[in-house]
Structure 1
Amino acid sequence: MLDVLTIVVSATALLLAAWCGFAAFRDQPTKDWHFIGMAVVAVLALVQLVVGVIKVSTGEKPVDGTTIFFAYLVGAACTVPAAAFMSLTERTRWGSAVVAAGGLILAVLEVRLYDIWGGVSA
């Protein structure tokens, strides 16, 4: 897939995780600025989903299989919106902690997507 896009999504997810983790450390719930950051990361993950679908539809194939690749793509695209929804229902520091965990999970999913596509040769 696109290595640059994977790096950008991972980096923004980790920045979001650090930002919301710091808010949780300071005993603060998620605020409007956090939701703007979540929207940016979610849009990047959606762009990656579209790029992945286009790449597979043009004939490129992931090394570890198309089904698992699409499962990880959809999971990556849904991670931050799910964390955002959960932080809306939990308006304490734990809402910020959930978003921080969501950012870390997305970064791990990005590494796995890179592996599935064939980014690491064994």
Structure 2
Amino acid sequence: MIDWFTTVQVVVACAAGILCVVLGLIGRVPGDLSMGAVALVELLLLVQLVIAIIAPAVGNSPSGSLAEFYIYLISAIILPLAGGFWALIERNRWSTVILGGVCLAIAVMVYRMGQIWFVQGA
């Protein structure tokens, strides 16, 4: 895991979450802007997956449990897919708010993944 990339992921997920919550609360249904923000969060998670696979092979091993890290990562990858699918099926303002909640949950999960990788003792 790369420290600055983790920070970028948390900032982008928080920004996307706040954007989606605000859009939902003003009455916007899921559209290009909200779905695009969630897609960006998902793209960053997929890049993080590639980094997490390569990092231990080049000497950047986690200080915590690798299994716990991957459980967080796979769960975080599934969340935007499930939330986006649900938001497109049930298109109303609350679907956009839920997308924001998904992004904010991912920000917390990525922050925790950073703790597992860099801080937590095994």
Equivalent in the alignment of 1:83: 83
Structure with bigger RCO (C-alpha 8 Å, 6+ apart): 2
CA contact (8 A) 1:28 1:96 kept: yes
What's the CA shift string for 1:39-81, capped at 9, x where partnerless?
2111111001110111123343222211111111212222222
Flag structure 1 segments of 5+ consecutive residues without an equivalent: none
Identical-residue share of aligned pairs (%)? 29
Is 2:107 aligned against 1:107? Answer: yes
Is contact 1:38–1:84 with CA below 8 Å preserved after alignment? yes
**Deviating 4+ runs (over 6 angstroms):** none
Q: Which amino acid aligns with 1:106?
A: I
**Aligned twin of 1:63:** 63
Over aligned residues, Cα RMSD in angstroms?
1.6
- TM-score, length of structure 1 as denominator length: 0.90
The CA distance in 2 between the partners of 1:111 and 1:100, in whole Å, is 17
SS of the counterpart of 2:88? helix
Equivalent residues, number = 121
Q: How does 1:38-53 map to 2 (within 5 A)?
A: 38-53=38-53
Q: Which moved more, 1:39-48 or 1:81-90?
A: 81-90
